[in-house]
Amino acid sequence: MTNNHVIADADEINVILNDGTKIKAELVGVDKKTDLAVLKFKPPKPLVSVKFGDSDKLRLGDWVVAIGNPFSLGGTVTAGIVSAKNRDISSGPYDSYIQTDAAINRGNSGGPLFNLDGDVVGVNTLIISPSGGSIGIGFAVPSKTVAGVVDQLRQFGELRRGWLGVRIQSVTDEIAESLNIKPARGALVAGVDDKGPAKPAGIEPGDVVVKFDGKDVKDPKDLSRVVADTAVGKEVDVIVIRKGEEQTKKVTLGRLQDPDKVQAAVKTDEPAPEKPVTQKALGLDLAVLNKDLRTRFKIKDTVKGVVVTNVDANSDAAEKRLSAGDVIVEVAQEAVASGADIQKRVDQLKKDGKKSVLLLVSNADGELRFVALSVQ
């Protein structure tokens, strides 16, 4: 067994059976996100296949068996238990691994992970180890994910992931308090792609997605996974919380394209403009966005709002990584055009007994995010 990269680049693909027979194979398709590939070949004799089990039914502590080819030693079997499910190890946007303490070493990748019924519940993928050998922390792609990838590779020769067309971020306790959401949950929509499926469906920045196609969304990772696993072109119900109330939006999913965005910063030697008139609020120096400030901070013409010209190093704003050149677009989900607008909204929130204020902030390129700042 070899990895997808080698398979895809090889001039000749060979499958070696247990008895040593070498067979030429054709690459049907490969998905580099999950390191899974589908090969087509004609065996000299009928082969016995294994079937996929239901990885969703695995429980912590269930016994599992891993088979692989560690260190080129041939078929090797190790046993262990399921240590965790839906494990996110920050290796990609769709992380949802089965973690097991069955010994997995170099060469095990691509081997099956069986339950005690002999069904494949995962495909061994990687380990975490300071030494390079097994320390009992191994990971497998769940069979539910594998089966979906294999079906698409067979049908299309490539993987077609669903696309909603939104940028999302976590709902912190402060953001949840600002949006009247209890408890904190869901995926906060920070931006909507103008050409994406979410736009015509009426999904807006500030919406919090809490359910997608009948599945609960606890955090942004949940939404990324469920959208990617949903068929392109399917119409789904998306439940969002907007201003404290649930709304249902119908969205027809698009297809996610591989991003190829390489942006280079453009430097300028223009002299700094005169210092603008500023107003202080929330530990920020704020100014009306004009032509000079756009040039100074390289802010796109499409960005509207109040520009931050300085941040108090000891403020909550600095801790939340606001910086000069950021543009405040909305305060408490209302558009602002001056520092006075922002101060007015903050004063009202204090009067209403709010502990924090929710800002919609844009960077110079127009990418949005939500930031909750303390008003105490």
Catalytic positions are: 5, 35, 109
Residue 5 to residue 164: CA distance in whole angstroms: 28
> Beta strand pairing status for 36-40 and 138-142?
unpaired
CA dihedral sign, ordered 105, 106, 107, 110:
positive
178 torsion bin: left (phi>0), alpha (psi -120 to 50), beta (else): alpha
Q: Which of 281, 335, 277, 279 is nearest to 304 (CA)?
A: 335
Q: What is the pLDDT of residues 321-340, one digit of tens each?
A: 898 999 999 988 888 888 88
Q: Which of 201, 267, 277 is nearest to 239 (CA)?
A: 201
Q: Which of 224, 225, 231 is nearest to 252 (CA)?
A: 231
Residue 104 to residue 124: CA distance in whole angstroms: 8
Report residue 109: phi and psi, to 5°. Answer: -55, 135
Rounded mean pLDDT of the chain?
A: 84
Write down all domains in the chain, each with its CATH number in brackets.
1-159 (2.40.10.10), 162-255 (2.30.42.10), 279-374 (2.30.42.10)
Residue 274 confidence (pLDDT): 46
Report residue 14: phi and psi, to 5°. Answer: -125, 140
DSSP 257: P
Low-confidence ranges of the chain (pLDDT < 70): 1-12, 91-93, 258-278, 376
Q: What is the pLDDT of residues 13-69, one digit of tens each?
A: 877 777 778 888 888 888 887 888 898 888 888 888 889 999 999 999 999 999 988
Residue 223 to residue 166: CA distance in whole angstroms: 10
Residue 11 confidence (pLDDT): 53
Residue 48 to residue 260: CA distance in whole angstroms: 42
282 torsion bin: left (phi>0), alpha (psi -120 to 50), beta (else): left
Structure tokens at 269: 């030697």
231 C-beta neighbours (distance < 10 Å), count: 14
**Do residues 249 and 157 lie in contact, with contact meaning Cβ atoms separated by under 8 Å?**
no
Q: Which of 88, 70, 86 is nearest to 78 (CA)?
A: 70
